[in-house]
Amino acid sequence: MQAATDVQTTNTLAGLIDLARYPIDDLDGEAGRALTEQCRRQLDEDGCVVLKNFVPEDALARLERETERLSPEAHYNQTETNPYNSAGDVEKPAHHPVNRFDDRTNGFVAGDRIGRDTLIRQVYEHPDFQRFIGAVVGMEEIHQYADPLADLVVNVLREGCQHPWHYDTNEFIVTLMTRQSRGGGRFEYAPGIRSPEGENFEEVEKVIDGDRSRLKSLDLSPGDLQIFFGRYSLHRVTPVKGDRERHTVIFAYAKEPGVIGRPERAQRIFGRLAPVHERLLEEGMQRSDSLTD
């Protein structure tokens, strides 16, 4: 009976988000405008905004049960990957970032496994939540990711799992932690290390080699919402320690409609393709910038 209660349909964010502290349902009000401006300043400064205890304790317990219920659907794989989720380049030296591979072992629950009646999808699709995210990233309108596997994802990390240095496919990412591991699982990033105009391979190489001079680290807690420019900031999650899984919900939006991840990346992350990926393989795919995925 509890599972049915946890996934009841709702058209309001009341009770799911601390609207007294984070009035995202009234962005035109004084408090709403102040919240947006504060988030924008922080995002401008270091490419990342963390809203502590965005989800109140009672709702967090429900969300944790939900991601725990979904976690067995995660596809796990272990592979060696570079920061670009691409093949190496024999024409470049071994120390070049595109030829620097590290172990990636983690699990992802794909979006088509997360039903419309789940609380996390209701948050993801809610107009007030989308408007708030758009306002923070400076966009009048944002669009749900059109990729049926990668639009809404639960990242599940068991002991020993990690996500090494990488970039996100979409320009910014929104995450909500619902469970932290007993150890490890630390989020680290190099804000704005690349841009649409260039990869900045030299600085990326320094980070991979252990230079921490431009790194920022976050100890995220369950209930924290993170807004992050992950397409331009190199980032990683350090290896998880202990017998408690780390669960993070990933809400994927884009500034343009119809954004879909590369088929080869879907195959790596989810272990399969959706029909839309198969069509892209047949028709070819182009991105709006020249960056490596």
DSSP states of 154-169: EEEE-TT-BEEEE--S
For tokens 């024409």, the residue is 91
Q: What is the pLDDT of residue 282?
A: 85
Q: What is the pLDDT of residue 292?
A: 59
Measured CA to CA in angstroms, residue 134 lies from 39, 49, 130, 182, 288 at distances of: 11, 13, 6, 33, 19
Q: What is the pLDDT of residue 288?
A: 52
* Cβ count within 10 A of residue 14: 9
Q: What is the pLDDT of residue 99?
A: 98
| Cα 4 to Cα 192: distance, rounded to the nearest angstrom | 43
| Cα 260 to Cα 169: distance, rounded to the nearest angstrom | 9
Query: Quick one: CA dihedral 200, 205, 206, 208, positive or negative?
Result: positive
pLDDT digits (tens, 9 = 90+) for 259-271: 898 898 899 889 9
What does the chain come to in residues? 293
Strand boundaries in 191-285, DSSP class E: 216-218, 225-228, 234-237, 240-241, 246-254
Q: Which domains does the chain have, with CATH numbers?
A: 2-282 (2.60.120.620)
Alpha helices for 54-200 (secondary structure H)? 57-70, 119-125, 127-136
| Cα 159 to Cα 244: distance, rounded to the nearest angstrom | 7
DSSP states of 19-64: TTTS-TT-TTSHHHHHHHHHHHHHHHHHSEEEETT-S-HHHHHHHH
Q: What is the pLDDT of residue 171?
A: 80
| Cα 30 to Cα 12: distance, rounded to the nearest angstrom | 21
Q: What is the pLDDT of residue 8?
A: 44
pLDDT digits (tens, 9 = 90+) for 132-171: 999 999 999 999 999 999 999 999 999 999 999 999 877 8
φ/ψ of 43, rounded to 5, equals -65, -40
Mean pLDDT (10-residue bins), the chain, 293 residues: 41 90 97 98 93 96 97 94 93 98 95 96 97 96 94 96 90 94 96 94 98 94 96 95 97 91 88 93 66 59
Q: What is the pLDDT of residue 285?
A: 58
Q: What is the pLDDT of residue 286?
A: 58
Q: What is the pLDDT of residue 5?
A: 39
Q: What is the pLDDT of residue 170?
A: 74
